[in-house]
Amino acid sequence: MVQKVYITYNQIHKLCQDAAPQILDNFKPNLMIAIGGGGYVPARILRSFLRRTGSPNIPIQAIGLSLYEALGTDDQIEEPGHKVTRTQWLDLSSLEMANLIGKNVLIVDEVDDTRTTLEYAVKELQKDVATAAQQLGKDPQSTQFSIFVLHNKDKEKKGRLPNDLIEANRYLAARTVPDVWINYPWEATDIDEHDRMAAQQTIE
């Protein structure tokens, strides 16, 4: 039986608030890329805490990646799939990719489970930046990627992140948690019941 843990919007808000000073000091992002759908809400909350006085809001762009698949059981628990599928991506022919060059880009997602999705996102974005930089005659190395997740599951990972990203401490998880199934509030159909279940949990 998979243990379920319920996370509230208030908990997510506070996790983002607590992480923001470290993100500002260490990553200094000037662009965020939210991985949909779990990265949308934390990215938007983070933006409020990352804004510096006199500076504009940090832009948020979005990509869609799908890895999870339903088990087909009554409780509809999902498990990690084996192949990452793009459901939304940045347009290489537009200004979106050119705007990444030379930026400190913060990739935001809700959970680091198998790390497969994060590995795919970083590798593919690095490739696309390199292509765009070559077309524009710019240095792709001037673009730095960092990662923020709400929860990192304490388990063996299938995916790998670039060594330079890890060694430079450009990965931050607000909380490291056991290998449990995390129910986020944006997945709830009854938010009152979701919050009631969350009140009985101790995880943040």
Active site residues: 113
Packing angle, helices 9-22 and 40-50, rounded to 10:
50
* Encoded tokens for 16: 């983002």
* Interstrand relation of 144-153 and 171-177 (parallel, antiparallel or unpaired): parallel
Cα atoms in the 13 Å half-sphere on the side-chain side of 181: 13
Pairwise CA distance, residues 59 & 61, whole Å: 7
Answer whether 84's CB lies under 8 Å from 65's CB.
yes
Q: How far apart are alpha carbons 43 and 47 in whole angstroms?
A: 6
Q: Compute the Cα dihedral for 161, 167, 168, 169 and give only its sign.
A: positive
Nearest to 16 by CA among 56, 58, 54: 58
